[in-house]
Amino acid sequence: MRARQKFDGLSDDYDLYRPRYPDEFFATIAAELTSFAEVTAVDTGAGTGIALEGLVPALDASTRYLAVDVSQDMVDRGRKKFPEVEWTVGGAEEFLEGLPQRVQLVVAAQAYQWMDRKRYVSACLTALAPGGLLAVMQNNRDHASSAFLDAYESLLEEHSPGYARGYRDFDIGSEIAAGFEPSGGRVDTRMVRWTRSVRVDDFVRMSSSSTQVQRAIFEEGEGFLDLVRDLCAEHARGGALNVAYTSELFLGVRG
């Protein structure tokens, strides 16, 4: 029997309420791929295909897409959205290491922190053709600029076992560079700050799709979502919250 994965059972709310990525990230990726006559793109830790929503319109219509995620639920939802994509349930590292031919693009959107990161970067180097790209993207709640998000992080730290707001505070650019630069590659970065208006009910649903909140619910029951809702109501204006994000793109180019 397949082991239950951390996002199993969360795919609907995950897909409906999670923030998307800035269009300029996909334009940057597309510009770097123009030298290739044919492109195969691999979305690793693909979830429900949120990154594909921006990637598919940005790339040439002839692009071939592969997607892999450990959660069957996520893959099932992604396959309904993008039936033309070749979906696989499994680990990203093993999938990349087993590819029969080189590819031109590997993407990890909101997934890099879940990887065996050193092995993942090595697997990307093995999988990518010369000049190929590793694109790591993430949306981070900008809690330093928002009293609401600061309070939300504190709520998670108090109630979700093992959670700390700095769980992604490692140097992604340096980790990619350690793999890519010795063979003549390079790493570029992009950052965009933006604000999203989210209705209270939608924020609570988005919150419930996170593993951190699911841990809190496991410990304390569904009543934890009442605490989230009360916090949202305290900070909302006209039933909506202004949620600040910092989005980052780390682009590794294989030498």
Q: How far apart are CA 157 and CA 155, in angstroms?
A: 5
At 207, list the tokens.
């919150």
Q: What is the pLDDT of residue 8?
A: 57
Q: pLDDT band at 7, cuts 50/70/90?
A: low
In a domain, 217, yes or no: yes
In a domain, 214, yes or no: yes
DSSP of 78-138: HHHH-TTSEEEES-HHHHHHT-SS-EEEEEEES-GGGS-HHHHHHHHHHHEEEEEEEEEEE
Digit-coded pLDDT (tens) for 91-113: 999 999 999 999 999 999 999 99
Q: Mean pLDDT, to the nearest integer, of 197-223?
A: 96
Q: How far apart are CA 176 and CA 10, in angstroms?
A: 30
Q: What is the mean pLDDT of the chain?
A: 95
Is residue 58 within 8 A of residue 29, CB to CB? The reply is yes
Q: What is the pLDDT of residue 222?
A: 95
In the chain, how many domains are there? 1
Digit-coded pLDDT (tens) for 52-88: 999 999 999 999 999 999 999 999 999 999 999 999 9
Residue 167's domain comprises 11-253
Residue 247 scores a pLDDT above 70: yes
Q: Mean pLDDT, to the nearest integer, of 131-160?
A: 97
In a domain, 5, yes or no: no
Q: pLDDT band at 6, cuts 50/70/90?
A: low
Q: What is the pLDDT of residue 1?
A: 39
Cα-based angle 28, 32, 38 (whole degrees, multiple of 5): 125
In a domain, 3, yes or no: no
In a domain, 202, yes or no: yes
Residue 241 scores a pLDDT above 70: yes
Q: Which residue has the tokens 């990525």?
A: 21
Query: What percent of the chain is modeled with pLDDT above 70?
Result: 97
In a domain, 4, yes or no: no
In a domain, 203, yes or no: yes
Q: What is the CATH number of the domain that holds 221?
A: 3.40.50.150
In a domain, 2, yes or no: no
